[in-house]
């Protein structure tokens, strides 16, 4: 593409480009003066396979207004609009951005859907980036209520000791040590006669590890342990903004895994909402406990599809790294549809197996199940197998996400991120269409 453009360029332009050393590498920028006209701006796309390779353009280009005059033929303008907006994101709660992003002019019809999706992604990123001092359990509930108010959804919460009265014992056990009360937050939206979609997100606003305390280097990023809830909220935002004809039920177990004399302990036996007794091995595996009660609640409405997002295991990062989210399902049709949706939305996910051979690793001699495996291997799989016990026969998608960008790449600045919601939304759009 670049070579073809150079062949057709004026000789003076060719000389300037060659003298500059510009090679159209990804993110490379060259401004060519044109007298009184605005400069000709070259933005390198490298070996771009899709529009997201240009996602750093908003911050690579000098401030100003730009119009796209030439791009690789396979670049989708709507995708480019989303990539541009994703790359323009900055977390501004505590300090203003150092510069404004470059503005790209794209036709309104191509930009409208991108703006809506970007708002959902920004919501997830802002929540994950906010430290627990300013996003405690009360704060995350408030964020859900704000989201519900935007779209006319009904939001409710079960808080503190009421969790025991209403049979969410594992949510209570994990969160009871904190001065910020644990809670189960629910959002209902849509026509009750429409197909039911269950959505669950792990909302651990900070994870010390509990009595099995984390080492300092592993605790440093634990403000992001509510990334599952943030991603679930991003997906809910997309669904409601699009007006998909579904009945959405979002369930978020929201806790602070803190340390005190009232903290739950290794060797405790916890009862779950489903009636399964759970032996506690390590208090730093708290996410699957709160998810179990939340998943049980979500299945009680008999959804057509149940989806959960959780920053659940380090094993998932070892397997796939930080850029790709592993997912689990026993439903081949859902897996096939999700693969297509992920490719179409440029939201990479990868299926891992619910391998029955590892299920026995969760056996307990004194309870129905142990919440961690007796082997350190296959940790993401065994965590998913634990959760499967609380889902039953409901079609289910489980995402073990990182929700964080450790090194900037196009459209993904360092910090909190959404992994999987765009792929799932694309799947839901294909299945249920517009209202």
Contact 163, 184 (CB under 8 A): yes
> Is 154 in the active site?
no
Cα separation, 355 vs 394, in Å, equals 18
Query: Which residues are paired to 327 by β-bridges?
Result: 351, 399
DSSP 300: T
Distance CA(57)–CA(279), nearest Å, equals 51
**Cα 249 off chain centre by:** 18
- For 322-342, give one letter per residue: b (16+ CB within 10 A) or e: bebbbbbbeeeebeebbbebb
Residues whose CB falls within 8 Å of the CB of residue 145, separated by 6 or more in sequence, listed in order: 155
Residue 188 CA to residue 35 CA, distance in Å, equals 59
Would you list the DSSP string of 137-160? HHHHHHHHHHHHHHHT-EEEEEET
Token pair 């009862």 in the structure block, residue: 271
Query: Exactly one of 145, 214, 351, 409 is catalytic; which is it?
Result: 214
Angstrom CA distances, 57 to 112, 268, 380, stand at 19, 53, 35
The alpha-carbon radius of gyration of the chain (Å, integer) is 23
SS3 104: strand
Quote the CA–CA distance of 145 and 142 in Å, as a whole number.
5
Q: How far apart are CA 430 and CA 48, in angstroms?
A: 26
Of 163, 153, 169, 327, nearest to 244 by C-alpha is 153
119 assigned to active site:
no
Catalytic annotation, pick one of 176, 196, 247, 288: 288
Element (H, E) at 315: helix 314-320
Active site residues: 214, 288
């Amino acid at each position: 593409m670049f070579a073809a453009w150079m062949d057709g360029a004026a000789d003076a332009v060719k000389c300037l480009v060659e003298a500059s050393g510009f090679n159209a590498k990804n993110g490379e920028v060259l401004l060519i003066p044109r007298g009184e006209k605005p400069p000709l701006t070259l933005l390198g796309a490298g070996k771009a396979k899709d529009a997201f390779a240009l996602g750093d353009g908003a911050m690579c280009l000098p401030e100003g207004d730009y119009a796209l005059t030439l791009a690789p033929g396979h670049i989708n303008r709507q995708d480019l609009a989303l990539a541009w907006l994703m790359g323009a994101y900055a977390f501004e709660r505590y300090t203003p951005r150092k510069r404004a992003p470059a503005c790209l002019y794209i036709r309104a019809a191509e930009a409208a859907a991108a703006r809506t999706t970007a708002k959902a992604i920004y919501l997830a990123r802002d929540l994950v980036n906010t430290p627990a001092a300013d996003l405690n359990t009360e704060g995350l509930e408030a964020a859900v209520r704000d989201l519900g108010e935007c779209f006319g959804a009904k939001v409710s919460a079960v808080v503190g000791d009421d969790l025991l009265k209403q049979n969410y014992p594992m949510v209570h056990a994990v969160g009871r040590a904190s001065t910020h009360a644990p809670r189960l937050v629910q959002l209902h939206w849509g026509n009750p006669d429409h197909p039911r979609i269950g959505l669950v997100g792990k909302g651990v606003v900070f994870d010390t590890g509990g009595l099995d305390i984390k080492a300092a280097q592993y605790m440093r990023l634990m403000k992001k342990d509510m990334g599952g809830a943030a991603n679930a909220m991003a997906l809910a935002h997309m669904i409601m903004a699009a007006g998909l004809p579904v009945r959405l039920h979002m369930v978020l177990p929201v806790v602070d895994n803190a340390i005190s004399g009232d903290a739950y302990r290794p060797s405790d036996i916890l009862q779950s909402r489903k009636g399964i007794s759970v032996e506690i091995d390590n208090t730093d595996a708290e996410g699957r406990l709160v998810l179990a009660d939340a998943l049980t609640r979500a299945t009680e409405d008999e959804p057509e599809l149940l989806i959960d997002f959780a920053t659940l295991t380090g094993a998932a990062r070892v397997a796939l790294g930080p850029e790709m989210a592993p997912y689990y399902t026993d439903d081949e049709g859902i897996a096939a549809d999700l693969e297509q949706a992920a490719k179409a939305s440029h939201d990479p996910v990868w299926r891992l197996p619910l391998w029955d051979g590892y299920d026995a690793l969760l056996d307990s001699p004194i309870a129905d199940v142990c919440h961690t495996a007796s082997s350190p291997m296959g940790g993401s799989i065994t965590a998913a197998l634990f959760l499967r016990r609380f889902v039953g026969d409901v079609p289910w998608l489980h995402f073990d996400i990182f929700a964080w960008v450790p090194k900037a790449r196009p459209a993904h600045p360092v910090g909190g991120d959404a992994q999987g919601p765009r792929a799932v939304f694309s799947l839901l759009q294909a299945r249920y269409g517009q209202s």
